[in-house]
Amino acid sequence: MRALSKACGKRMMRTGKACKQQSSECKKGLPVRSRFLCKNAGLGILAIGAMLFAAIPVATAQTSWATLDAPPAGIAPPGDALRPGHLGRQITDVELTTHFYHDLIGLELVGKRDQPRPFFINKGLQEVAELAQGVKDPYLQTSRVVLLPIPGTAATAGGPEMTIEAIQIEGIPKRRFNPPLTDPGASSLTLIVADLDKTLAVLKSERFPVITEGGNPVELSNWPGISGKIRAVMVRDPDGYPVELMQITPAPATTAAPGSNVLLARVSIVVDNLEKTARLYQSLVGPDFKYWLSPWMGGADYEKLTGTHSQFRMAQAMVPGSPVVMQLIEYKNHNKKFARPYFQDAGAAHFLFMSKDDDVMLERVKAAHLHTESTSNAPVFISKTTRMFFVGDPQGFWLEFMDHDVKTDPTGTYTR
């Protein structure tokens, strides 16, 4: 396994929501996690809870917006959205993030490990999120980036993988964004790994925080879309972002290279109104972004995994052109005054869909009566033939759409 050896080596919040919710912070919707309550049949209440979870059917009565009769699995074909581009992460330090995800967990790395990653200025990158930064002059910022491909997220072996795009922004005010796991706007990454115990031991040896009660993996049962024995633990990366590490036995099919410690990934986003947000995402991504809706869920194992205490329900969809599952999660009785980040805040996140044509996606944004995060309200060129835009969802999580080789920038303003 490639990278499990030990390597040595203020954000301005707007008000929005805070809340506690049950099970382990569904926000990781990446790898398969399952956590229904099955053990602890000793107490009557727990036994009833376990029965409720065990009774969750693979197919449930669906709605006009959730049309799948079973949790999504396999590999989704491309549509207007071609594939997942990245989980974008605003970070404090490129080196710390690289060490955590690449050196310790086993994500891949674009470029050499010891190559310089200097700060740069790209007018397009400054413009594309200017309305999401809460500063008078967003053009004062500089940034540097590291790309960490996630094994197993390509539709075919050797194909383009979803990455973590870790962005360190300096020159403008920023703070940490680490909301409660049950707050709308919170998100998490699930990484399905080949060796959970060894991975966790390495992270513990470097004193990375463990969210899971007791600091050890929890065995889950009956997580929608996952089969096999499931063990999982939640940790925090250098910026406090929640990462769920999960091992499934037998190991799931994967497009990752042989010997990879990371096999698959899921992304979870906590929402305020599940139907409203799911409908919005589908209207933007396209009709092939189809959901399976879970019943209300919760259980002792999930609570231990995530440190949360609330029932929740979720809508699962396959990201087009990939095996990546996105989970939108709504907790019962969540705090309606949740906090929202600014784009540059360490711990904030966004999700990129690579698209066939950003003009098509932009028309959908306008039809939803939304505005992009640039004053132009149009795709912004960040290179000669690459353009992109961000749009915020109701929780303050951003969706990004990018196309390539569809149009050419006639001005050349993309140059650094």
Q: What is the pLDDT of residue 46?
A: 38
The pLDDT of residue 413 is 61
Look up the pTM and report it: 0.86
The reported pLDDT for the residue numbered 221 is 83
Q: What is the DSSP string of 229-251?
A: EEEEEEEE-TT--EEEEEEEESP
Determine how many CB atoms are found less than 10 A away from the CB of residue 414.
18
Higher-scoring residue by pLDDT: 105, 23:
105
pLDDT in tens, 248-294: 999 999 999 999 999 999 999 999 999 999 999 999 999 999 999 99
Rounded distance between C-alpha atoms, residue 416 and residue 414, angstroms: 6
Burial annotation 121-140 (CB, 10 A radius, 16+ → b, else e) = ebebbbbbbbbbbbbeebee
pLDDT in tens, 38-51: 333 333 333 334 43
pLDDT for the residue 411: 83
Q: Pick the range with the lowest mean pLDDT from 46-50, 312-316, 393-397.
A: 46-50
Interval 209-234 mean pLDDT? 95
**What pLDDT sits at residue 414?**
55
> What is the domain extent for residue 19?
1-416
Residue 408 pLDDT > 50, yes or no?
A: yes
Residue 2 has pLDDT above 70, yes or no: no
Q: How many domains is the chain built from?
A: 1
**Mean pLDDT taken over the chain:** 88
pLDDT at 11: 34
Calpha distance 46→259 (Å, rounded): 40
pLDDT value, residue 62: 75
| Average pLDDT of the residues in 161-185 | 97
Mean pLDDT of 224-246: 97
Output the pLDDT for position 75. 97
Q: What is the pLDDT of residues 108-121, one digit of tens each?
A: 999 999 999 999 99
For the chain, give the percent of residues with pLDDT over 90.
81
Q: What per-residue confidence (pLDDT) applies to 297?
A: 94
Contacts 24+ apart (CB under 8 A), 275-280: 275/63, 275/65, 276/394, 277/328, 277/393, 277/394, 277/395, 278/65, 278/66, 278/315, 278/317, 278/328, 279/65, 280/368, 280/393, 280/394
Rounded mean pLDDT, 405-409: 95
Of 70-79, 97-106, 221-230, 349-358, give the lowest mean pLDDT range: 221-230
Q: How confident is the model at residue 166 (pLDDT cuts 50, 70, 90)?
A: very high
Q: Confidence band (pLDDT; 50, 70, 90) for 141?
A: very high
Mean pLDDT confidence for 222-250:
96
